[in-house]
Amino acid sequence: MSKTALFVRHTAKPGKRSEVQEIWERYVRDYVAANSQQPAYFYCIDDKDPDVIVVFQLYADQTSGRDFTQQPWYPEYERETAALLAGPSEFRSATPKWMKGLASE
């Protein structure tokens, strides 16, 4: 299995989570929806913290993840989002060993 996973935790400034989501929808959603190299992507809001966003991304391989950050819109997306975040986001990469619902290699 050569897939790679990324878990991201964003904490928005108080009351700004919906604005962060609007920026994500403007820049990222259509790209991800059309990207065959991302077989799974979950954009989630935390049920217990009104300012937290949790994202799970599954990539076909490590190169696909780097391609995501090389898109021409990505720097602007990061700039606009950073202005609404309470601090740096947390990124955790992981190597899937077993998955349900997606074809394994």
Residue 53 lies in a domain: yes
Q: What CATH number has the domain bearing residue 25? A: 3.30.70.100
Residue 104 lies in a domain: no
pLDDT of residue 11: 98
Residue 20 lies in a domain: yes
Residue 4 CA to residue 57 CA, distance in Å, equals 8
pLDDT of residue 63: 85
**Tokens in use for 94?**
């992981």
Residue 72 has pLDDT above 90, yes or no: yes
Residue 56 lies in a domain: yes
Residue 105 lies in a domain: no
Residue 103 has pLDDT above 80, yes or no: no
Tens-place pLDDT, residues 47-59: 999 999 999 999 9
| Structural domain span for residue 68 | 4-94
Residue 79 has pLDDT above 60, yes or no: yes
pTM for the structure as a whole: 0.89
Domain count within the chain:
1
Residue 99 lies in a domain: no
**Tokens in use for 35?**
């990207």
What is the pLDDT of the chain when averaged over all its residues?
A: 93
Tens-place pLDDT, residues 3-54: 999 999 999 999 999 999 999 999 999 999 999 999 999 999 999 999 999 9
Alpha helix stretches (DSSP H) within 25-84 = 30-34, 62-69, 74-82
Residue 67 lies in a domain: yes
